Structure 1
Amino acid sequence: MNIRMILRIVGIVLLIEGTGMVPSFIVSLIYAQGDAIAFLISILITAASGFLLYRIPVRNGKFYARDGFAAVALGWTAISLFGSMPFVISGAIPSFIDAFFETVSGFTTTGSSILKDIESLPKGILFWRSFTNFMGGMGVLVFTLAVIPSIAPGSIHIMNAESTGPSKEKLVPKLKETVRILYTIYVVMATCQIILLLIAGIPLYDSLVHAFASAGTGGFSNRNLSVGAYGNVYAEVIITVFTILFGVNFGLYYRLINGDIRGFFKDEEFRFYIGTILVSITLITIDLYTHRFFTLGQSLRHSSFQVGTIITTTGFSTTDFNLWPTFSKIILVMLMLFGACAGSTGGGIKCIRILLLLKTARREIARIIHPRAVHTVKVSNRVIDENTVNKTLSYFFIYMSLFFISVLLISLDGKDLVTSATAVLATLSNIGPGFEAVGPTGNFSDFSAFSKLVFSFDMLAGRLEFYPIFVLISPEAWKRGNI
């Protein structure tokens, strides 16, 4: 491991995080609710720590894949630890473990919370809480690659470790330009959503908070009843559309900008993603209407919003879907597993992996029927190499293994099975709400400190797709011969 280079990168990340706290500090000054001093102290400590790490001299210029993975995992852990300070220092969340949980949930764009009365917190704190969704959406270290000319000779390893999906590709030859393109699209889309929410009658502060959370598909709201507090159908439609848009692979938007409209709509993962959304909305609408939960129009309104925010792992709510019929809740659980597209800000297993698993299963059946024929797995008319297929199978095995281990560990708290299972699913897939005690009207506050640490690990592991975290905690990677 190139420890000096890794620590230097973490230092840069902390400097960026300290800068990222400044808008929240300004908001806290504007509203003057007593949290400004907490941000000032947090900014100074974070920036000073980052500067000291950045000044560590680097003697070895070599930077391998394991270094990139370790830097990403350590960087995300560091920003979560330092990002907890405003909550603790201000007294908004006195318990450090609770504050760490909330911060990890923010940066990983999970949206799970331990807060019971969100609206009682200072505006600056709630702004920071939502802004962590925005910072974590596209990736903090990927942003680092855009603003720093050359932080390491193997910077592609950082992007590979932090970006989501079974395979990553540069949009243009230069990595820095690729990252800038992605972030430009990200910021422009978020800005458009803010403007539309203002037109819909949502106050500026609230529009910023919900746009940040939508862009990062994090789901942190400044209202106890989430988006449902407004009762504004126009705002709901805007948020539904934009969360779905943020769940699309950003590489496809680059194609669209360059005039490849046909390539955009022919992408098989995109079609699977949109198809799943449309089918799910239709089935849940029918289920809600036939069980007389809502009128037909209301059923379509609530099903569209919840399907859009659940499959993108945003987690906003307009109604208590915990009370919906079992059929509808099973569909929502399925969507929690699927998640959004690879290369988006959404979490979950990702639609491309679900596609690959389905196509791999079909190939194995075809091999049994026609053992002498040559069978390949294709997505969007491209043959997928066996290495990618094997990585997908390994990812799914790790996901399910960690899911069952986590459920076993938090079962020590004595919660019911549905609460325990969906709480793990909600954190591992970076969704936010689950069912029963952790449903849209509940939270994670009643879990033990041990369970909250398990959830925090799951959120980080799920957001980074396991391997960076496992590299960081692997003794083999830190042996003297590898340093």
Structure 2
Amino acid sequence: MNMRVVLKLLGTVLMWESILMIPSLIIAILDNSYEISAFIISIIIIGVLGFALMNIKTNGFQMRNREGFAGVAICWVVMSLLGALPFYISGAIPAYIDAVFETVSGFTTTGSSILTDIEILPRGILFWRSFTHWIGGMGVLILTLALMPSLGARSVFLMRAESPGPSPGKLVPKISETAKLLYIIYAGMTIIQIILLVIAKMSLYDAFIHAFGTAGTGGFSNKGLSVGAYNSPLIEWIITIFMLLFGVNFSLHYLLLKGDFKSILKNEEFRLYWLTVIISIIIICINVLPLYNYSVADSLTKSSFQVATIVTTTGYATTDFNLWPMLPKSILLMLMFFGACAGSTGGGIKFIRVLLLFKAVAYEIRHTVHPNSIGTIKINGRKVDISVMSGIMVFFFAYVATMIVAILIVSLDNFDFMTTFSAVLATISNIGPGFEIVGPMGNYADFSVLSKIVLTCCMIIGRLEVMPIFVLMSPSIWKKR
């Protein structure tokens, strides 16, 4: 592996990280708050380090697959470690491990938190905390490609390593142009949501905070009761709709702008996603009617919001679903596994993988019944290559294996099974809230340092979909060729 290429990429990412801290610094200055110096020190440290690495000479060497995967993993780890500096230096989060946990939760759009009293924190810190969702939602490397297209023609390896789903592709011939289009759509949808939230009587600052969390499907709020603090059905429906939209593959948003409705409706993952969402909402709505005095409007609002926040792995809350009957909780647990669509800002296994796994099972059943038959697995009318199916099987095994190891380690804290299991599932699927102690009204503050480190690793592994981290741990990748 050519470390010069990776370090130069890391330098570029760190330069942008320091620049993206400036809005939070401005808010701190306007409030004359105590975290001003923390942001200044952090910006200088990260900026100087980034500038030094950015100017490393690569002798014209272009990025290959190994540099792409290793670079993505290293960039996410380092930017998280340094992104925690404002929390730690300001004293907002006194323990560095806790500060890293909160930062990783932000960048990976997980939304899990160790904070017990969010509302006492200054606005600059809370803005940076939520802004990390927006930065990490689409992917910091994709942002880098959009702003710095000079990384090389083979920078497709960055997108392949960072983008969620089994088959990220180009919307237009150039990767840099694809990255720009993705961010234009991403930013446009965020701005529209901010405007609608302000119209719905949310303050401009709060609208930014919650739009960042919705767009990145992260779920950090500046309110202790999350979105439920506003007690506004209109706000809940706006956020519900946008959560579901951000959970859709962004290539379909591009097709929508082009007016290609036929291709959108033919997309099998898109159809399965919406069918699952609608059925889940209906079943949960009926089951929780008694909890809301048989008010269909209230029940529909709450069930729609919770289905949207779980299936898109956002993590906002308007009610404590720990108090719901077992069937609704079981459905939400299933949706935690599914996650959103490939190519969206959501986490989880992704609907396209679930769909292809079902198709693979159906294919094996047909082949068992009719051994001499010749068939193929197709998605959207196109044959699925055997390498894609192999990659999905490997991903699924690695995902489950990582979960099992993490559960065994976290279980040393002796919490109940549902707390332990859902904490690992919620972090590796980048959801945020789980059940029981880590439910929508709880947090991760009581876990041990070891468990917090394991859960932090789960968040990064889940966001990068396992392979980049596993590739980074492979001894062979460090050999020079």
Indicate the TM-score class for this superposition, using the shorter chain for normalisation.
over 0.9
Q: 1:233 maps to what in 2?
A: 233
Q: For residues 445-470 of structure 1, give each alpha carbon's deviation from its aligned partner in whole angstroms, at most 9, with x where no partner exists.
A: 00011111101110000000111111
Q: 1:163 maps to what in 2?
A: 163
> Which whole-Å CA distance do the structure 2 matches of 1:40 and 1:33 have between them?
13
> Which whole-Å CA distance do the structure 2 matches of 1:204 and 1:63 have between them?
42
Where do 1:31-430 residues align within 5 Å? 31-59=31-59, 61-289=61-289, 295-430=295-430
TM-score (norm 2): 0.99
Deviation at 1:33, TM superposition (A): 2.1
Q: Tell whether the 8 Å contact from 1:2 to 1:62 is kept in structure 2 after alignment.
A: no
Sequence identity, in percent? 54
2:168 corresponds to which letter in structure 1? K
Q: Tell whether the 8 Å contact from 2:14 to 2:79 is kept in structure 1 after alignment.
A: yes
> Which whole-Å CA distance do the structure 1 matches of 2:449 and 2:294 have between them?
39
2:275 corresponds to which letter in structure 1? G
Q: Tell whether the 8 Å contact from 1:198 to 1:204 is kept in structure 2 after alignment.
A: yes
> Which whole-Å CA distance do the structure 2 matches of 1:206 and 1:334 have between them?
31
2:368 corresponds to which letter in structure 1? I
> Which whole-Å CA distance do the structure 2 matches of 1:132 and 1:291 have between them?
36
Q: 1:236 to 1:292 in 2, by over 3 A?
A: closer
Q: For residues 105-158 of structure 1, give each alpha carbon's deviation from its aligned partner in whole angstroms, at most 9, with x where no partner exists.
A: 000000000000000000000000000000000000111011113113421101
Q: Tell whether the 8 Å contact from 1:5 to 1:152 is kept in structure 2 after alignment.
A: no
Deviation at 1:63, TM superposition (A): 2.2
Deviation at 1:290, TM superposition (A): 5.0
Q: Tell whether the 8 Å contact from 1:2 to 1:60 is kept in structure 2 after alignment.
A: no
Deviation at 1:382, TM superposition (A): 1.4
1:472 corresponds to which letter in structure 2? L
> Which whole-Å CA distance do the structure 2 matches of 1:59 and 1:451 have between them?
43
> Which whole-Å CA distance do the structure 2 matches of 1:113 and 1:416 have between them?
19
Q: Tell whether the 8 Å contact from 1:61 to 1:153 is kept in structure 2 after alignment.
A: no
> Which whole-Å CA distance do the structure 2 matches of 1:149 and 1:353 have between them?
30
Other structure's SS at 1:75 match: helix
> Which whole-Å CA distance do the structure 2 matches of 1:243 and 1:358 have between them?
26
Q: Tell whether the 8 Å contact from 2:110 to 2:431 is kept in structure 1 after alignment.
A: yes
> Which whole-Å CA distance do the structure 2 matches of 1:97 and 1:48 have between them?
24
Deviation at 1:4, TM superposition (A): 0.5
Q: For residues 235-268 of structure 1, give each alpha carbon's deviation from its aligned partner in whole angstroms, at most 9, with x where no partner exists.
A: 0000000000000000011111112111112211
> Which whole-Å CA distance do the structure 2 matches of 1:369 and 1:318 have between them?
49
Q: 2:3 maps to what in 1?
A: 3
Q: Tell whether the 8 Å contact from 2:292 to 2:298 is kept in structure 1 after alignment.
A: no
Q: 1:74 to 1:379 in 2, by over 3 A?
A: same
> Which whole-Å CA distance do the structure 1 matches of 2:94 and 2:292 have between them?
44
> Which whole-Å CA distance do the structure 2 matches of 1:361 and 1:290 have between them?
39
Pairwise CA RMSD: 1.0
Q: Tell whether the 8 Å contact from 1:213 to 1:221 is kept in structure 2 after alignment.
A: yes
Q: Tell whether the 8 Å contact from 1:217 to 1:313 is kept in structure 2 after alignment.
A: yes
Other structure's SS at 1:367 match: helix
Other structure's SS at 1:150 match: helix
Deviation at 1:474, TM superposition (A): 1.4
145-154 vs 404-413, which deviates more?
145-154
> Which whole-Å CA distance do the structure 1 matches of 2:291 and 2:42 have between them?
51
Unaligned runs of 5+ in 1: none
Q: 1:201 to 1:383 in 2, by over 3 A?
A: same
Deviation at 1:296, TM superposition (A): 2.3
Moved over 4 A (4+): 290-294
TM-score (norm 1): 0.98
Deviation at 1:295, TM superposition (A): 2.6
326-335 vs 144-153, which deviates more?
144-153
Total equivalences in the alignment: 481
> Which whole-Å CA distance do the structure 1 matches of 2:153 and 2:54 have between them?
16
Q: For residues 287-329 of structure 1, give each alpha carbon's deviation from its aligned partner in whole angstroms, at most 9, with x where no partner exists.
A: 1115667532211110000000110000000000111111100
> Which whole-Å CA distance do the structure 2 matches of 1:409 and 1:249 have between them?
34
Q: 1:342 to 1:83 in 2, by over 3 A?
A: same
Other structure's SS at 2:364 match: helix
> Which whole-Å CA distance do the structure 2 matches of 1:51 and 1:222 have between them?
33
Q: For residues 23-65 of structure 1, give each alpha carbon's deviation from its aligned partner in whole angstroms, at most 9, with x where no partner exists.
A: 0001111122211111111111110110011122213614210
In the alignment, structure 1 residue 12 sits paired with structure 2 residue 20: no
> Which whole-Å CA distance do the structure 2 matches of 1:292 and 1:189 have between them?
32
Q: 1:371 to 1:102 in 2, by over 3 A?
A: same
> Which whole-Å CA distance do the structure 2 matches of 1:232 and 1:37 have between them?
37
2:476 corresponds to which letter in structure 1? E
> Which whole-Å CA distance do the structure 2 matches of 1:63 and 1:121 have between them?
42
Other structure's SS at 2:316 match: coil
Q: Tell whether the 8 Å contact from 1:406 to 1:454 is kept in structure 2 after alignment.
A: yes
Unaligned runs of 5+ in 2: none
> Which whole-Å CA distance do the structure 2 matches of 1:250 and 1:59 have between them?
35
Q: For residues 400-440 of structure 1, give each alpha carbon's deviation from its aligned partner in whole angstroms, at most 9, with x where no partner exists.
A: 11111100011011111000000000000000000000001
Q: Tell whether the 8 Å contact from 1:190 to 1:212 is kept in structure 2 after alignment.
A: yes
> Which whole-Å CA distance do the structure 1 matches of 2:405 and 2:78 have between them?
25
Deviation at 1:379, TM superposition (A): 1.4
> Which whole-Å CA distance do the structure 1 matches of 2:290 and 2:375 have between them?
44
